[in-house]
Structure 1
Amino acid sequence: MPHLISTGPQHLAAAADRLGFGIPGFAHPLVAPAEWAELTRPQTPLHWTVLNVANGPGSRPDPHCLAAAGRLRNGGGRVLGSIDMAHGTRSFGELVSDAHRYLDWYKADGFYMDRCPTERTALPEVRRITTTLRALRDGAHLVLGHGSHPYQGYIEAADQLVTFAGPWSAYRWSQAAEWTGDHPAERFCHFVHSVPRGHLDEALRIARWQGASTIYFTDRTDRGGQVDPWEAMPGYWDEIVSRIGPGVSE
């Protein structure tokens, strides 16, 4: 059994009621048109979608990405621009430049900070960039894509933290950091690939018990790190939508 943090009944009920998708970033709309179109289906429990044009915003506006983002936003969806933090190795100027392009070209609703550092020493610089991003766009939704549990101070730097991103083989035995139990489930995201259809219910239970309300589960694999498992829709998309759609809870 995976480790379960100490969570009260009200916390668990809230997590179940608000469970929905965070899309880490489908392939380009020309390559994955069905995936992008599916996100606009009414009643899809979608919290936000990451727009990653070319490992960031790209060097010029892409009309296909602009159209896809526009359709999502017109349907009430939230689109986040993907900014690569490169584990803290990119300069402040580079990060702000990426943000400006996402805002100018795609009217981003916020930002997904991919490969965000996790250590305490990097927190001041991450705070600096998130503070700047909030100044650039009122109401910007900020997600720190750590992929594992960071130093707990990061919870104050953004709206959400991705505290797990990886394979099912690791997720099913994962442990939630104790400090996460002091915060509501809507502050945390879990992305899990290689989840067999037969273990979907178990994966959903782990997310609820560990207190993460934004999820993305897929049966796609990374083939030993050779492919991006998030670029295509899971084979059981309709099934998982029906399990966590509006009005569905445990």
Structure 2
Amino acid sequence: MSQLLVPYYEHPTVRPSEWAAIVAAAPRLYGVILNPASGPGEAPDPAFADLAAQLRATDVRLLGYTDTAYGSRPYADIAQDLTRYRDWYGTNGAFFDQVPTEQRDFRHYQRLASAAWATGCGTLVLNHGTTPHPSYARIADVLITFEGPWTTYRDQPPQPWRGTAGTHLGHLVYGVPPEVDFEAEARARGASVHCAVPGVGDHPWGTLPHTLEPVP
């Protein structure tokens, strides 16, 4: 069975009904990614702190978004993000964005994974956006092996996974029409974690999956 991972990058005071729909659906989700300011920000945000408390009450995985800049962002900055997410929002997981695919970068991410575990992260999601070297499966609970538009996803043949059997693969797809049974599409391509949203352009993750859209 595949599960929904929700990256929704909007402020709770701007999109309260959308966040309410996510909180209501939280018990059946794989997890929710929290992203106050392309990271935790420079100070706690009371609106996000309240939202995080609501999500924690549902026992859903709460993942803090951290940009790793394909290995170029300093370790200390990422470790600080992890600590801030834990202290300010009570996250219990991490979502590392912009992760490279090559084996030569693995040792750096192994160190970052240790930092995440040390701050209490029970779930680590690595967003490669394409299929990485199998070594990354040693540290991640989920490897995001596709992020991109529906038109590319639809026309791309399934990418074989040559790593450890049982590894959770995830697909994040935007520009998806409402009539598409995306859960079936993702499952056919080997993804047990997924998200498909209708948004396009520079900020597609400011839209909800069709199944979570609030009732007007």
Out of 42, 50, 54, the position equivalent to 2:33 is: 50
- 2:161 aligned counterpart, secondary structure: helix
| Distance apart, 1:43 and its partner CA | 7.4
- 1:172 aligned counterpart, secondary structure: helix
> Cα gap change, 1:75/1:172 in structure 2, threshold over 3 Å: closer, same or farther?
same
Asked if 1:189 is matched to 2:174, the reply is no
Asked if 1:164 is matched to 2:158, the reply is no
> In 2, distance between residues paired with 1:180 and 1:67?
42
Gaps of 5+ in 1: 1-16, 240-250
- Poorly superposed stretches of 4+, deviation over 3 Å: none
Asked if 1:221 is matched to 2:200, the reply is yes
Counterpart in the other structure of 1:150? 132
Asked if 1:81 is matched to 2:64, the reply is yes
| Distance apart, 1:54 and its partner CA | 0.5
Counterpart in the other structure of 2:211? 237
> In 1, distance between residues paired with 2:125 and 2:17?
25
Out of 73, 77, 81, the position equivalent to 1:98 is: 81
Counterpart in the other structure of 2:189? 210
Alignment of 1:101-140 (within 5 A): 101-137=84-120, 140=122
Gaps of 5+ in 2: none
| Distance apart, 1:180 and its partner CA | 4.8
Q: Could you tell me the percent identity over the aligned residues?
A: 35
- What are the Cα deviations for residues 136-195 of structure 1, in whole angstroms up to 9, with x where unaligned? 21x52100011111111111121111111110011012244423575226x111111111
- 2:155 aligned counterpart, secondary structure: coil
> Cα gap change, 1:23/1:43 in structure 2, threshold over 3 Å: closer, same or farther?
closer
Instruction: Note if contact 1:26-1:35 (Cα within 8 Å) is conserved in structure 2.
Output: no
Which 10-residue stretch deviates more, 164-173 or 36-45? Answer: 36-45
Instruction: Note if contact 2:67-2:96 (Cα within 8 Å) is conserved in structure 1.
Output: yes
| Larger RCO: 1 or 2 (CA < 8 Å, sep 6+) | 1
Instruction: Using structure 2 for the length normalisation, give the TM-score.
Output: 0.91
> Cα gap change, 1:38/1:79 in structure 2, threshold over 3 Å: closer, same or farther?
same
Instruction: Note if contact 2:27-2:60 (Cα within 8 Å) is conserved in structure 1.
Output: no
1:230 aligned partner, one-letter code: W
> In 1, distance between residues paired with 2:91 and 2:53?
10
Instruction: Using structure 1 for the length normalisation, give the TM-score.
Output: 0.80
- Larger Rg: 1 or 2? 1
Q: CA RMSD in A?
A: 1.9
> Cα gap change, 1:212/1:77 in structure 2, threshold over 3 Å: closer, same or farther?
same
What is the aligned length? 213
| Distance apart, 1:40 and its partner CA | 1.9
> In 2, distance between residues paired with 1:183 and 1:38?
34
> Cα gap change, 1:131/1:181 in structure 2, threshold over 3 Å: closer, same or farther?
closer
